[in-house]
Each structure stands twice: as structure tokens, then as C-alpha cells.
A = this chain, B = another copy of it.
Amino acid sequence: MTDMRRSLKEIAEKINATLIGDADVMISSLASLATADSSQLSFYKDPRYLNNLQDTTAGAVILTESDQDKCNTNCLIVADPYQSFIALAEFLSQATHRKTGIHDSVVMGKDCQIAADVTIGPNTFIGDNVCIAQGVYIGPNCIIEDHCVIDEDCYFWGNVACYHSVQIAKRVMVHSGVVLGSDGFGNHRTATGWTKVPQLGTVRIGNDVEIGANTTIDRGALDDTIIEDGVKLDNLIQIAHNVRIGSHTVIAACVGIAGSAIIGKNCMIGGAACINGHIEVTDNVIITGMAMVTSAITKPGMYSSGTGLLPSREWRKNAVRFRHLDKEFRQIKRDLSER
């Protein structure tokens, strides 16, 4: 748990809550209703957790006015408890962000434009002609190659690698181990093997994007790979060259998106789903986990593939049937027509 220590009075003011109870109670962190102790703050919204609310040992609970009477501890009354809880959590966690300027060990190339209040952590390498705008935080051991542009208030955790010429808009959060702008997988078959096709495009990331740990986004072959505003990417995702992901689409961990696929806006893609190259998925599509998307999706809606889990012994019998599915049906139809 991140540590803080603030009075309920201060917290109530921060989130514009009406405080019912002891304003001097000191809160050190946030927790769920079931686990919170008297120095912790929780929230209540979902009636399924009514028992937890009634039994909670939290120092205080954020809830709506109508739920106040069910609560036996200090109350912070708001209109939307979860929203207020998020706002408070964000406020408190920001306290941990270092603002320490550019560390002595940073190696920086020539002709860079770095705003006055930028923080760059130890042992980070910045190439030539890099632009970093105000409010940006870059953690330790990052690599920002030549000609990268990082706009205002971006937050890079440590160990991020950004190849040359990557363009990143405002308020983008990039987690550790992310690789942006690595070469797309372009190989041209020749008589003796494969020739590498140079990847001359770059990656452009929109505003308010978040990119999870160890996710990779390849640069375009000729044109650019594009992640539009508000896209949220989880960990260990692969985005191939020349993919475009529409605004406010969220993608869970371990997804792979092959080259030149176009994903629409406001889509939700479940974990470990894979999307074929050179196809288009329209807006507002939901793809369930591990689904295999081999051709275009033109209508909004929810899509799936795969088979459900079974005890292996049963599964094996069915899988054997699947191996002969077409033949089985042909045989049955023949048998039926013969009678």
C-alpha cells in the first residue's frame, strides 16, 4: 500500500464530500470494505457488498446520502462514490511521483528541446533532436532515440525503449519494458532466404493512451502505426506494423494484432485474442478472450471463437470427433437419405 496520512477533513475537502463524523481521524491509505482497518478509507456502491459495509472496520466510507444510515463508521457523502474514490486515489498516488529534474547520469544527444520542468531518471539515454514538453516524467534506464517527440505530461516508467522518430501526444502513460517503434516484421523472400524490408514509417500515439508493461508496438513499413486518443493497452500486447487502433478502444493482455489491421473506435478486445493482418474491425465491437479473428468484422456486436473447457478425457473424445466432423455429417446425411 502506498503510504499517505491525511485527516478526514482534508480528504472531504479534496473530493467535495459532506463529512458525517470525526474530522480529525487520520487516514493512511485506501482499502476494500472487507479488509480496511481504522486508518483506512473505503467506498460503498454495490448492494451485493451491504454485509461488508455493515461489518466494516474502515476509518471512513465514501457513499451516497441514501446509504448513509447503513454505515456504522465515519461517512463521506458524495453523488458517485466510485468516481470520488478514483479521484482521491489518483490524488494520493500522485504524491509518489518524483519531480527531480534531469539526473546527472542522463546521457543526452545534441539539439534536444527539453522543457524546464521535465524529470529524467538515472541512466536514461536521450538521442539527438529529441523534443520533450513540459510536465513529462521519464523514469530510470529508458532509451529515447533520435527525433522522438514526447508531448506534455507524459509519464514513462523505467526501462522503456523508444526507437527513433516515435511521436507521443499528451498525457500518455508508458509502463516498464514497453518497446515503441521497433522494426515491423517485413521480410522479402529471395532465392537464398529472406531479405529484411526496412521499416521507414514510425509510431504515433494519441492523447491519454496507456500502454501496459512489456507491450510492443512496431513502426510502420512506409506509413505509420497509429494508436488514437484514449486507447488503453494492457501488458504483453503485440501491435504489428501499420496497424491503426481507433480512439477509446481497450485491449486486454496478451493480444496480438497483425500487420495493417484497422481496429475501430470504442472496441473491447479480450485477453489473448488475435487479429489477422490486413483486415478491418468496425467500431463498437467486443471480442471475447482468446478469439481468433481471421476476417473483417463489419457489424458492431460481440464475437467469439474456440471451445469451452472440459475434463481432458471428455475433451479428447470430442476433439477426435472434430477431426472428422465433415465426414461424420456427410455419412449421417447419406444414411438418412438411404432410408
Which A residues from 291 to 314 make CB contacts under 8 A with B?
A: 291-295, 297, 301-314
Inter-chain CA distance A271–B271, complex, in Å, is: 15
A253 interface residue per 8 A CB criterion:
yes
Inter-chain CA distance A302–B288, complex, in Å, is: 24
- Chain B residues contacting A32 (CB-CB under 8 Å) are 222-223
Q: How large is the interface on A (under 10, 10 to 19, 20 to 34, 35 or more residues)?
A: 35 or more
By the criterion CB–CB under 8 Å, are A289 and B272 in contact?
no
Which A residues from 27 to 57 make CB contacts under 8 A with B?
A: 29-32, 35
By the criterion CB–CB under 8 Å, are B89 and A198 in contact?
yes
Which A residues from 212 to 227 make CB contacts under 8 A with B?
A: 212-214, 216, 218, 222-223
A202 interface residue per 8 A CB criterion:
yes
Query: How many copies of the shown chain assemble into the complex?
Result: 3
A99 interface residue per 8 A CB criterion:
no
Q: Which 10 A-B pairs have the closest CB atoms?
A: A89-B198, A161-B176, A317-B326, A125-B140, A179-B213, A318-B325, A143-B158, A182-B213, A107-B122, A304-B315
**16 pairs from A and B in contact (CB 8 Å cutoff):** A1-B202, A35-B222, A86-B195, A107-B122, A122-B125, A177-B177, A185-B212, A238-B254, A256-B271, A272-B272, A295-B309, A304-B310, A304-B319, A317-B326, A336-B336, A336-B339
